[in-house]
Amino acid sequence: GDSVTQMEGPVTLSEEAFLTINCTYTATGYPSLFWYVQYPGEGLQLLLKATKADDKGSNKGFEATYRKETTSFHLEKGSVQVSDSAVYFCALSDLLRSNDYKLSFGAGTTVTVRA
């Protein structure tokens, strides 16, 4: 079945450091890929998405590129801030397989940015 594997945390960084969170997926169809973020005490929010190979999603300084050849969707940010401290989830939906857009999530990566 469809699955998402993301790097385990926790990840602790200093402000202005470079952040990468690795995400790889397994899917039978042509999935759409997402990064969701959960800030402390808040609900899940969509951070960015990509719907086809080579698409780049971007938002709030974060970027991720849909790489079909490596089945990856790694999240990057060049200079993190304390406000980026959150749990990040990689996810996919595979309409071809499931006939709906239900999301399969990775385990989540906790990121803490220190001032």
Q: Is residue 46 close enough to count as binding other proteins by CB under 8 A?
A: yes
Task: Write down the least CB distance from residue 102 to other proteins, Å.
Answer: 5
Distance of CA 13 to the CA centre of its chain: 18
Instruction: Output DSSP code: residue 79.
Output: S
Among 9, 44, 65, 76, binds other proteins (CB under 8 A): 44
Q: Is residue 96 close enough to count as binding other proteins by CB under 8 A?
A: no
- With respect to other proteins, which residue has the nearer C-beta, 6 or 80? 6
Among 5, 58, 72, 98, binds other proteins (CB under 8 A): 98
What's the rounded Cα separation, in Å, for the pair 110 and 79?
17
101-104, Cβ contacts within 8 angstroms, sequence gap of 24 or more? 101/32, 103/34, 104/1, 104/2, 104/3, 104/4
Please report, as ranges, the residues that interact with other proteins according to CB under 8 A: 32, 34, 36, 42-46, 49, 51, 89, 91, 93, 95, 98-108
